[in-house]
């Protein structure tokens, strides 16, 4: 044990508080085994079987297989963004996964792929041409013809989105080389089964599955470095697939309303141009709330109901004269198949007025002879009223409310319960409350429904309404099931604007805060926009906003308010001795503030001890926050990332921390426990690697299929992301890991991410883009959050006072720290003083910001900046005391300024005390920050 080695004492099997494992080499071995096992479980439960005509599971005698597709030998284990490094000797590639799973693979073809020199990228599917398959290679098929297993991959990374069109085809469509490969396999009579595996989070267009005789198709996303055995287990039938989609798989990925305004757009200026690249770009979310399934399912219902001109050709696949759901969607949101078959019956939905919650009770029956896990998804349809149409309030046809996953033995039934807050089905109306805005509920009939995804749930609702003409995603006529629907009437005589006028978490009013995020706040009359409305699909379907004119108002907004000292600003010098560098009769140490409430006056006394130099220490991150010796606050590390920690273990062989399957795969389990397990395993690894704070997880909305960083996020849906991210973070917090959940918010493309003006209306902001962060900070109890590179409207996120103070800290009652995204090179719109005054606490990867702030204060004698520094330090210290650090040091701890916190801890230990002192110590040992192989933004 590392502490023992340093102290030269023996503690036997002592377990330090916080970990479920002994904090020694044996505990590490158990942890790493459990982590790798969890990686496999992620794939078993998060992979989505999209198609299966009976080809799977493979029979016991189908073990001689050919792994087709260049990317079978070039797996995309994770995104190209910051995160864990591989332990090469333990990484499980496709070859190892299949051979260890009892298969014999075509090794000659696999080796040929491995040395092809071709790889997937943002501009290429990475598939080899048909000429690659020489007669010699084709001759090898004879011995491995039981099954053709084809892998196609797509790639995402940081800072750059994929090229949308490559060689005349959508990047997410089948490439010419991939098409030729499928033709070759289909025409080769030796293969009687073809199984396609999809490697990558970005959802490919899959309208070709039947055309090329594909028998089964499984999406597994990015598997991490150790998860691929999970796919093999599914193919063999040792694992029964139970994942469901977290994104809609579109037949034409360029057709959605959001894609009409996704990419690179430049302002035009009238000779008064902003003189920096970070002020010249914009993007407009004209689709409003109609993102992902909220678009596809709503338009589908309006087609069935023949309203809003939903069948018009706008947004339809090129060449079609009218819009048709089955021609636009390959697989719906929430869809997934199993080797078992199930039925669901929604027995009841009851409302508890005291808790303002619903409980849905669902009978799930396994109608097959194979045990399996079934996901229960509960959706709601709220009334779309005349008021909505007249006032521009949009309602999607269905909205996810909650979910659970249950084990169901073969031939048996189980009762499942899904509980959810009524608050989640309220709509945000900017015109409510006399124009102040509020979440509202309207009179009318509400429908709750269950189904295999949003589309089936909606068809069930349409059946309850007595409608006909419904069809599934394949275009097959269906009738829906009224057994899967319950109606609810809130018994309202008028619109309810009062129930949710106050925040769910504080006594603050919830009202319009983002009017200036709407382009219409800034634009000239001739450039004002109309958001998409289901009341008129034909005339409001988004067009691309190009060459937006930057009028004087916009230009001034782009330049933002720059720091200026005012005449009323107090003097910093006058604060010295009392409010700064105060000498208390009884000095207060960092650890003395543990469990002190955030609003307690003791915090003011504690902070007053710090000098200006010391106040500037903690705001500067250099992969960690330095020690503050005066108050015996040790240093702590800050690590990447959403797909596993960029750190190394301090025990055993000291290998790199685990690279897990990415967050969409975790979310696709639709299992609260599996999602929470992700956070638990990362939290445990943080304890064993000495990490107190991590820039993770990500929970931005996957707004379009081309968002390059989608592997770090959860889903296209605000509510699913709300649950999944809070499950992950809650478990991390239980292990003492502070999570800087990111990137808050409207960071939904990598193109121009630094400084891009992002325009959206408040309804979509409240109901979609902020919802996951709300879950992270409230339900998940996060004590850290990272703002984004982009502007919200015209205001840089890290200087957005309304976001940070009125919403996060006001409405949601957040008391943790706020860190910006790394912007050392973007000083034009990343002004340290402005960020600090607005509410930013930590400057990510910017060890010089503290010195810059200190220099400015000394130059200006600005006491207001000093007070802002003190507030930032309070929030940072408060957060860290709620981490593993808070349980890791004692009143005996003495810190030298150059030491990491675990070293300082040791100075305070008298070896004679031995076990008694160690029993009072901490959870784990934090080390120096891990230097990244190459500096990346986060």
| CB-count burial class (<10 Å; 0-12, 13-18, 19+) for 260 | buried
SS3 389: helix
Query: Strand 249-250 vs strand 329-331: parallel, antiparallel, or unpaired?
Result: antiparallel
Using alpha carbons, select from 797, 873, 863, 811 the residue that is nearest to residue 842. Answer: 873
Q: Decide if 445 contacts 383 (C-beta within 8 A).
A: yes
Kindly give, in sequence order, each residue whose CB lies less than 8 Å from that of residue 8, ignoring residues fewer than 6 positions away: 911
Structural domains in the chain, sorted by start: 48-242 (3.40.50.1700), 293-552 (2.60.40.10), 608-886 (3.20.20.300)
Spans of the chain, pLDDT less than 70: 1-17, 272, 275, 277, 824-828, 887-893, 896-938
pLDDT the model gives residue 641: 87
| CB-count burial class (<10 Å; 0-12, 13-18, 19+) for 369 | exposed
| Cα–Cα distance measured from residue 893 to residue 907, given in angstroms and rounded to the nearest whole number | 7
Using alpha carbons, select from 346, 414, 402, 411 the residue that is nearest to residue 374. Answer: 414
Angstrom CA distances, 302 to 534, 856, 880, stand at 8, 59, 51
pLDDT the model gives residue 560: 83
Residue 594's Cβ-side half-sphere holds a number of Cα atoms within 13 Å equal to 17
Q: Decide if 17 contacts 635 (C-beta within 8 A).
A: no
pLDDT the model gives residue 897: 54
pLDDT the model gives residue 928: 25
């Amino acid at each position: 044990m590392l502490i023992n080695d340093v102290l030269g004492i023996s503690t036997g099997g002592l377990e330090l508080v916080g970990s479920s494992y002994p904090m020694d080499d044996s505990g590490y071995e158990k942890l790493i085994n459990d982590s790798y096992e969890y990686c496999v479980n992620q794939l078993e439960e998060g992979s989505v079987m999209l198609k299966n005509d009976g080809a799977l599971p493979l029979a016991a005698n189908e073990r001689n297989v050919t792994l087709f597709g260049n990317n079978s030998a070039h797996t995309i284990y994770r995104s190209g963004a910051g995160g864990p490094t591989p332990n090469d000797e333990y990484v499980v590639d496709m070859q190892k996964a299949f051979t260890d799973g009892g298969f014999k693979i075509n090794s000659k073809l696999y080796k040929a792929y491995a040395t092809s020199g071709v790889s997937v990228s943002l501009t290429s599917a990475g598939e080899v041409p048909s000429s690659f398959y020489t007669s010699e290679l084709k001759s090898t098929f004879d011995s491995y013809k039981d099954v053709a297993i084809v892998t196609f991959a797509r790639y995402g990374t940081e800072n750059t989105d994929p090229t949308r069109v490559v060689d005349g085809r959508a990047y997410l469509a089948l490439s010419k080389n991939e098409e030729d490969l499928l033709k070759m396999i289909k025409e080769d009579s030796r293969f009687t089964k073809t199984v396609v595996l999809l490697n990558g989070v970005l959802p490919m267009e899959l309208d070709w599955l039947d055309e090329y005789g594909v028998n089964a198709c499984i999406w597994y996303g990015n598997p991490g470095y150790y998860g691929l055995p999970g796919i093999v287990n599914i193919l063999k039938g040792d694992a029964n697939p139970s994942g469901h989609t977290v994104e809609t798989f579109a037949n034409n990925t360029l057709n959605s309303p959001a894609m009409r305004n996704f990419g690179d757009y430049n302002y035009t200026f009238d000779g008064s141009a902003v003189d920096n690249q970070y002020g010249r770009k914009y993007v407009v979310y004209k689709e409003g709330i109609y993102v992902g399934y909220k678009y596809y399912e709503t338009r589908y219902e309006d087609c069935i109901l023949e309203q809003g001109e939903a069948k018009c050709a706008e947004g339809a696949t090129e060449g079609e004269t009218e819009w048709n759901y089955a021609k636009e969607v390959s697989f719906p949101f929430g869809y997934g198949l199993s080797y078992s078959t199930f039925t669901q019956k929604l027995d009841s939905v009851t409302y508890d007025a005291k808790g303002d919650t619903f409980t849905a009770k669902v009978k799930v029956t396994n109608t097959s002879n194979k045990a399996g896990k079934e996901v229960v998804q509960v959706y709601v349809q709220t009334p779309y009223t005349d008021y909505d149409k007249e006032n521009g309030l949009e309602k999607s046809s269905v909205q996810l409310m909650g979910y659970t996953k249950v084990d169901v033995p073969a031939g048996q039934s189980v009762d499942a319960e899904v509980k959810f807050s009524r608050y989640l089905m309220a709509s945000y109306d900017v015109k409510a409350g006399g124009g102040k805005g509020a979440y509202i509920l309207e009179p009318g009939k509400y429908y709750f429904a269950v189904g295999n995804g949003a589309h089936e749930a909606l068809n069930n609702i349409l059946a309850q309404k007595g409608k006909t003409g419904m069809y599934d995603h394949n275009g097959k006529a269906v009738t829906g099931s009224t057994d899967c629907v319950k109606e609810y009437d809130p018994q309202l005589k008028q619109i309810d604007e009062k129930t949710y006028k106050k925040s769910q978490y504080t006594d603050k009013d919830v009202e319009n805060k983002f009017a200036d995020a709407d382009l219409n706040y800034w634009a000239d009359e001739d450039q004002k926009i109309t958001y998409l409305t289901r009341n008129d699909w034909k005339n409001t379907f988004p067009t691309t906003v190009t060459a937006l004119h930057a009028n004087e108002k916009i230009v001034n907004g782009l330049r933002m308010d720059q720091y200026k000292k005012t005449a009323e600003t107090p003097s910093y010098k006058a604060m010295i001795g009392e409010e700064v560098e105060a000498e208390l009769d009884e000095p207060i140490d960092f650890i003395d503030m543990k469990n002190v409430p955030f609003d307690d006056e003791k915090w003011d006394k504690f902070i007053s001890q710090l000098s200006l130099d010391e106040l500037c220490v903690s705001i500067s991150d250099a992969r960690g926050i330095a020690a503050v010796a005066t108050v015996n606050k040790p240093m702590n590390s800050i690590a990447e990332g959403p797909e596993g920690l960029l750190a190394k273990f301090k025990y055993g062989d000291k290998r790199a921390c685990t690279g897990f399957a990415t967050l969409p795969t975790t979310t696709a389990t639709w299992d609260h426990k599996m999602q929470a397990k992700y956070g638990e395993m990362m939290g445990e690894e943080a304890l064993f690697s000495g990490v107190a704070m991590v820039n993770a997880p990500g929970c931005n909305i996957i707004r379009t299929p081309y968002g390059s960083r989608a592997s770090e996020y959860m889903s296209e849906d605000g509510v699913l992301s709300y649950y999944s991210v809070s499950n992950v973070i809650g478990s991390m917090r239980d292990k003492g890991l502070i999570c800087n959940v990111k990137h808050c918010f409207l960071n939904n493309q990598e193109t121009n991410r630094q400084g891009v003006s992002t325009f959206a209306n408040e309804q979509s902001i409240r109901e979609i883009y902020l919802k996951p962060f709300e879950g992270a900070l409230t339900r998940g109890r996060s004590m850290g959050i990272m703002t984004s590179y982009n502007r919200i409207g015209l205001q840089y996120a890290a200087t957005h006072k309304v976001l940070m103070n009125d919403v996060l800290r006001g409405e949601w009652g957040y008391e943790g720290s706020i860190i910006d995204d790394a912007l050392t090179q973007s000083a034009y719109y990343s002004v340290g003083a402005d960020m600090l005054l607005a509410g930013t606490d930590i400057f990510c990867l910017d060890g010089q910001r503290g010195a810059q702030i200190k220099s400015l204060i000394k130059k200006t004698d600005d006491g207001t900046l000093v007070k802002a520094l003190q507030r930032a330090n309070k929030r940072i210290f408060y957060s860290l005391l709620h981490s593993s650090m808070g349980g890791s040091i004692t009143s005996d701890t003495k810190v030298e300024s150059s030491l990491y916190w675990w070293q300082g801890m040791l100075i305070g230990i008298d070896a004679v005390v031995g076990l008694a002192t160690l029993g009072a110590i901490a959870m784990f040992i934090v080390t120096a920050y891990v230097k990244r192989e190459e500096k990346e933004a986060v």
